[in-house]
Chain A
Amino acid sequence: MVRPHRIRTTPELLKDLRTLRVGVFCPRDHNGEELIRQLQRIGCQVQAFWPPPSELSEPFEVVFLAVKPETINLDLPWTKGDGGTTLLAVVNYENPTIVDAVLCFGATGVVAEPIRSFGVLSSLILARRLTAQLRQQKRRIEKLESKLLSARQISEAKAILMSSKGVSEHEAYAIIREQAMTKRVAIEDIATAIINANEILTAVGKPRTTA
């Protein structure tokens, strides 16, 4: 007997294909037409523009952008957004200039010309997942960075209180927290205020240097 194939339910990324708004920013030549037709077979909501617009008229979830000699120098601000749009590059050259442009536009997928219907679906799904993962990771990193910064500030503020007031670390933290509660601000803000005040007081206390 054959071992059962591991059966899966349908991945979420495949389920929303029919509501996906897709922009195709490619010349309306044979390749552009074929790409549009295949996306329509898949069932996406497709809109085509050429040349590539500098602003998105609609919140496209996915954009297929022709990365060709005539587009590599375009300034497309929407490609530098928050990662809400998945970008796939459509290329007909593979030289370093074009590959570099693909990277600069922040594409997470590539579709090569001549366009074949086979492969478009897989590229689309993979690029969507990569984009979503990158966005999630970016948000997580931002959160962690800000947490790290405030932890550093709090411990610095505690150190100031400990040396200037002669209190324990635990007491120093209690002071900061009480201040935050009384003034209804974040603990980090009190910590920052203590650090700033300390810097000023230290500067004032120092003898002036002469020129």
Chain B
Amino acid sequence: MANHDPIRVGVLFSKTGVTALIEQSQLSGTMLAISEINSAGGIDGREVVPVYYDPQSNPALHSVLAERLVLTDKVNVIFGCYMSSTRKTVLPVVEKWNRLLFYPTLYEGFEFSNNVIYTGAAPNQNSVQLADFMTTNFGSRMYIVGSNYIYPYESNRTMTELVLQRNGEKVGERYVALGATQEEFDPIIADIKKKKPSFIFSTVVGNSTQYLYKAYAEAGLNAKEMPIASLTTSEAEIREMGAELAAGHYTAAPYFQSLDNEVNAAVLASYRKLLGTDDVTTNMCWEAAYFQVHLYANAFRASGSDEIEALLPHLLGSEFLAPQGRVRIDPTTHHTCLYPRVGRANAKGQFTIVREAKRAVHPDPYLVTYSLGDWTARIDALDV
């Protein structure tokens, strides 16, 4: 007799706390994929049922809730985490109970766990491209502004290395607390005005992102001359701050809502239908959260189980036609082959794509020394 029991999966994205905004979009990407899978008859006739908790952007709570998902809710798989600090607390839990975490966020690299699938960009899939674009088009005097935690530290080290390779210099480096208010950015913007960098590299994450752009605009700085470059300012943050504040600034990511292809159009249509509105905003983290659930479901269909030993052989090396292009899980690193792109925020709150990789770039999470020449051959200029 066929098994008709529902399949429970754990979902851990914050609805509250400093990174709630972007994590809610990851949550809705996850829910969209689950709803698509269930509408199409589930996984071999079994309904996928998300078990959701709000970890409140709090690292310690992530660990507690991950353990509850494993022990009380008996899930084999968890979709979740945004900040590296939260992933690091879930990691020991999934390793201890031999469960699998799907992590749909760009991060700083230097990690591998047999119990994690990483579907966001590694630094060789976004930082290299952004550094090359910014130094080529605006010059190589960089001013760094970041949130005060591990991802910005490592991400800034990578960017600094890349800019130094261009005989550039780091003219400033400032950090603000997670959840910083606009007053904290004002003195930084004043310093930026004084030092006149070629561009500002921001690794500010979460709800404070808007205040950086606001402080910048209020100081009368011009994005055409000294833009902000970011790996984390997505359509979600722009919607919150307003298109006007972000216009002219740059972000590197494998996915932008504005991507003009059939898959993206179809997934966006499906998302509009689910939400019952035409007014939807998506972003790189939403897309990764979306396609990783489909990768999971496909591997489950092939193996008949989501226990890690059964699932992994079908997951590793598997491909999926995602909105950004055909992605693939690299078996060696458990990271994902993705399509680096650089976008310039426009007046509509969307990104005009100015650079694009035609082929997927292999993840290299342990890459220490980058070479700027490597990727340029594989990424094409569009307009600018």
Q: How far is the CB of A64 from chain B (nearest CB, A)?
A: 17
Give the residue of A4, A18, A117, A121 whose beta carbon is less than 8 angstroms from that of B369.
A18
- Cβ of A42 < 8 Å from any Cβ of B? yes
Q: Is the CB of B156 within 8 A of A7?
A: yes
**Docked CA distance A9–B368 (Å):** 11
Stretch in contact with the other chain, from B40-48, B172-180, B230-238, B373-381: B172-180
Closest to B175 in A: A2
Q: How far is the CB of B88 from chain A (nearest CB, A)?
A: 10
Give the residue of A7, A38, A43, A118 whose beta carbon is less than 8 angstroms from that of B160.
A7
**Docked CA distance A155–B187 (Å):** 67
Closest to A11 in B: B368
Instruction: Flag A1-28 by CB within 8 Å of B: 1 or 0 each.
Output: 1111101111000110110000000000
Instruction: Flag B311-341 by CB within 8 Å of A: 1 or 0 each.
Output: 0000000000000000000001100000000
**Docked CA distance A17–B112 (Å):** 17
User: With a CB–CB cut-off of 8 A, which chain A residues contact B332?
Assistant: 37, 40-41
User: With a CB–CB cut-off of 8 A, which chain B residues contact A38?
Assistant: 112
Q: How far is the CB of A15 from chain B (nearest CB, A)?
A: 5
Assign chain A's interface to a size class: 20 to 34
Closest to A120 in B: B112
- Cβ of B86 < 8 Å from any Cβ of A? no
Instruction: Flag B174-195 by CB within 8 Å of A: 1 or 0 each.
Output: 1111000000100110000000
Give A123-150 interface residues, CB cut-off 8 Å to B: none
Decide: A42 near B114, CB < 8 A? Known: A7-B160, A8-B157, A9-B161: no
Decide: A7 near B173, CB < 8 A? Known: A40-B332, A117-B113, A121-B110: yes
User: With a CB–CB cut-off of 8 A, which chain A residues contact B173?
Assistant: 4, 7
- Cβ of B97 < 8 Å from any Cβ of A? no
Decide: A41 near B160, CB < 8 A? Known: A118-B111, A121-B110: no
Assign chain B's interface to a size class: 20 to 34
Give the residue of A8, A117, A121 whose beta carbon is less than 8 angstroms from that of B114.
A117
Q: Is the CB of A1 within 8 A of B161?
A: no
Give the residue of B148, B161, B170, B364 whose beta carbon is less than 8 angstroms from that of A2.
B148
Q: Is the CB of A10 within 8 A of B157?
A: yes
**Docked CA distance A37–B187 (Å):** 47
Decide: A41 near B157, CB < 8 A? Known: A7-B173, A118-B113: no
- Cβ of B310 < 8 Å from any Cβ of A? no
Most chain A CB atoms below 10 A, which of B157, B177, B368 = B368
Decide: A2 near B177, CB < 8 A? Known: A41-B366, A43-B367: yes
Q: Is the CB of A5 within 8 A of B366?
A: no
Decide: A15 near B112, CB < 8 A? Known: A2-B176, A5-B153, A7-B156: no
Q: Is the CB of B174 within 8 A of A4?
A: yes
**Docked CA distance A121–B365 (Å):** 13
Q: How far is the CB of A46 from chain B (nearest CB, A)?
A: 12
Closest to B158 in A: A10
Q: How far is the CB of B16 from chain A (nearest CB, A)?
A: 22
Q: How far is the CB of A18 from chain B (nearest CB, A)?
A: 7
Instruction: Flag B96-140 by CB within 8 Å of A: 1 or 0 each.
Output: 000000000000001111100000000000000000000000000
User: With a CB–CB cut-off of 8 A, which chain A residues contact B164?
Assistant: 9
**Docked CA distance A38–B333 (Å):** 9
Instruction: Flag B136-175 by CB within 8 Å of A: 1 or 0 each.
Output: 0000000000001000010011001100100000100111
Instruction: Flag B341-373 by CB within 8 Å of A: 1 or 0 each.
Output: 000000000000000000000001111110000
Decide: A15 near B113, CB < 8 A? Known: A40-B332, A41-B333: no
Q: How far is the CB of B324 from chain A (nearest CB, A)?
A: 24
**Docked CA distance A4–B174 (Å):** 6
Closest to A1 in B: B184
Instruction: Flag A96-140 by CB within 8 Å of B: 1 or 0 each.
Output: 000000000000000000000110010000000000000000000
**Docked CA distance A3–B184 (Å):** 12
**Docked CA distance A8–B366 (Å):** 18
User: With a CB–CB cut-off of 8 A, which chain A residues contact B174?
Assistant: 1, 4
User: With a CB–CB cut-off of 8 A, which chain A residues contact B369?
Assistant: 10, 14-15, 18
User: With a CB–CB cut-off of 8 A, which chain A residues contact B187?
Assistant: 1
User: With a CB–CB cut-off of 8 A, which chain B residues contact A43?
Assistant: 364, 366-367
Q: How far is the CB of B185 from chain A (nearest CB, A)?
A: 9
Decide: A9 near B160, CB < 8 A? Known: A1-B187, A41-B112: yes
Q: Is the CB of B184 within 8 A of A15?
A: no
User: With a CB–CB cut-off of 8 A, which chain B residues contact A118?
Assistant: 111-113
Query: Which 5 pairs of residues, A with B, have the shortest CB-CB distance?
Result: A2-B148, A117-B112, A42-B366, A14-B368, A2-B175
25 CB < 8 A contacts A-B: A1-B174, A1-B176, A2-B177, A3-B175, A4-B173, A4-B174, A5-B148, A5-B175, A7-B156, A9-B157, A9-B160, A9-B161, A10-B368, A14-B369, A17-B368, A18-B368, A18-B369, A41-B112, A41-B333, A41-B365, A42-B366, A43-B366, A43-B367, A117-B114, A118-B113
Name B residues whose Cβ lies closer than 8 Å to a Cβ of A.
Answer: 110-114, 148, 153, 156-157, 160-161, 164, 170, 173-177, 184, 187-188, 332-333, 364-369
Name A residues whose Cβ lies closer than 8 Å to a Cβ of B.
Answer: 1-5, 7-10, 14-15, 17-18, 37-38, 40-43, 117-118, 121
